[in-house]
Structure 1
């Protein structure tokens, strides 16, 4: 087994400065610069969460449902796809089986996705019972979608669309759009599925940040500002919409450029400050975080030598 020093040396040989920005990583830095470092630079492992895994399964079902003819896109069919999508995901990531242990431990913790529900921790349940309960929760989320949108009347132009653009500054923006609808008039609607609950009004701007990010990228790629941004919250059965304009998107571009400057400065200096907040409770990296009495790993990127000042030179 590698010692901590050896692991630090290994990271130093593979670590690379960040070269692009996605909505999730931008949100990480705004939430906590040290979390960004742990995920992007150190690439520290994180435990799988039942909530995030459920989101992956639900997204896969909603994406692949459109492979079937419109009249066949029923709630019953969508529910029946949940188990198959879970089995495909499990085959690709066998470690996800740890989410449903027989014993009472915290291996399959929920994580934080803003939604209630049991993800397999009730005492006395077998692994099979925990999994069945979790799958039922995913099926309920899929079924709720049909009360919010009618897939028999939708023909998405794109699903799980990878988008990337380079701004004039050289900053590369990238990400995945859940669904892109194009009207006969050419107007764009950007749709994102969320398996959690809609945020309280004071957190709506935070949720829309991701959507404005995508809108900016699509504007740069296609030359047209998306007509509508739509967040579909399956956990609470809410739909949040926003119609952006060029002023909005220029503002988000300025924000991203300022954010990238801050990321570059932190990368060059190695100064990644923790920022405590409401999500710290769910963070996987508490043992490395000064806010919890921890010490971050050795920084794996080179930093300029610190300028030393002798006692005689000190003011």
Structure 2
């Protein structure tokens, strides 16, 4: 994989910033939310659970449990049963809404198993992957990218990163190609498992859509370059905070419509003023 990507994985500099897709996305979306999520201790007051997050976690857990079974037991009926076993009601409007979405989610996983080949055993399920990298070939590593991939398949000797989606809108090839998270998982998976990885896929359970993209070395480096820019800003703000800098200035609130469903809305006056509070079930797939 080192030869395939041309990244330098040799002796790293003494100090590297560790970044994950979640941390980078949080900082890019709102530095204030990043600070509250990862730096402030004790953690500021948060909202309660969101139904769409609960739904996504349940589907992910059910599919992970399904692929942990022997291939002959990966049936639609078993997938539905696992969904029921994993079910939680957090964030739904009431018991009736939760029950309706439980049945809907059972149908999603059953159709997924019916229409996709699930006989191959993945090489990674909720697999933690990590890699020291530099977007510029031939240079020492400048950061460590890491994260937990939903699923990593091996097809024809190459790895494929699979990410499950349960949101309101079906993804397309552009979204798969533009996903910084998938690109980072591809690079880190190749480094961790020592096999080429260029293909990434978004599997949308509500519609059965599979949006796939084939990366090149150049497209992966572009994603890493953008990640490095964000990582440098994140590191500078964090270091300045540790040196006694003003937390509100270093990690300003990036206000907008998303403040309506921010986890830290109760602890952010700017966010409360930016948008009315969303109901905990408003982002469910219709």
Same fold (TM over 0.5): yes
- Equivalent residues of 1:225, 1:245 under 8 A apart: no
What is the match of residue 286 of structure 1?
A: 265
What is the match of residue 44 of structure 2?
A: 44
Cα distance in 2 for partners of 1:70, 1:232 equals 20
Q: Give the secondary structure class of the aligned counterpart of 1:279.
A: helix
- Equivalent residues of 1:197, 1:234 under 8 A apart: no
Q: Give the secondary structure class of the aligned counterpart of 1:68.
A: coil
- Equivalent residues of 1:216, 1:253 under 8 A apart: no
**CA shift in 2, pair 1:19/1:291, >3 Å:** same
What root-mean-square deviation, in Å, do the aligned CA atoms of Structure 1 and Structure 2 show? 2.7
TM-score (norm 2): 0.74
Q: 1:243 aligns with which of 214, 218, 223?
A: 214
Alignment length (residue pairs): 241
Structure 1, unpaired ranges of 5+: 1-17, 91-96, 100-107, 109-118, 122-126, 295-315
Cα distance in 2 for partners of 1:274, 1:203 equals 29
**CA shift in 2, pair 1:206/1:242, >3 Å:** closer
Q: Give the secondary structure class of the aligned counterpart of 1:227.
A: strand
**Going by fraction, where is strand more abundant, 1 or 2?**
2
Cα distance in 2 for partners of 1:176, 1:242 equals 19
**Whose Rg is larger?**
1
What is the match of residue 235 of structure 2?
A: 264
- Equivalent residues of 1:23, 1:213 under 8 A apart: yes
Counterparts of residues 1-315 of structure 1 (less than 5 Å): 20-42=18-40, 43-46=43-46, 47-86=48-87, 99=90, 108=91, 119-121=92-94, 127=95, 129-146=96-113, 148-151=115-118, 153-167=119-133, 168-183=140-155, 185-198=156-169, 204=175, 208-222=179-193, 224-267=195-238, 268=240, 269=245, 270=247, 271-287=250-266, 288-293=268-273
Cα distance in 2 for partners of 1:156, 1:227 equals 16
TM-score (norm 1): 0.68
Cα distance in 2 for partners of 1:228, 1:200 equals 15
Cα distance in 1 for partners of 2:28, 2:103 equals 34
Q: Give the secondary structure class of the aligned counterpart of 1:48.
A: coil
- Equivalent residues of 2:60, 2:164 under 8 A apart: yes
Structure 2, unpaired ranges of 5+: 1-15, 134-139, 275-286
**CA shift in 2, pair 1:289/1:158, >3 Å:** same
Runs of 4+ in 1 over 6 A off after TM superposition: 200-203
Q: Which has the higher contact order (CA 8 A, sep 6+)?
A: 2
**CA shift in 2, pair 1:51/1:187, >3 Å:** same
Cα distance in 1 for partners of 2:176, 2:153 equals 23
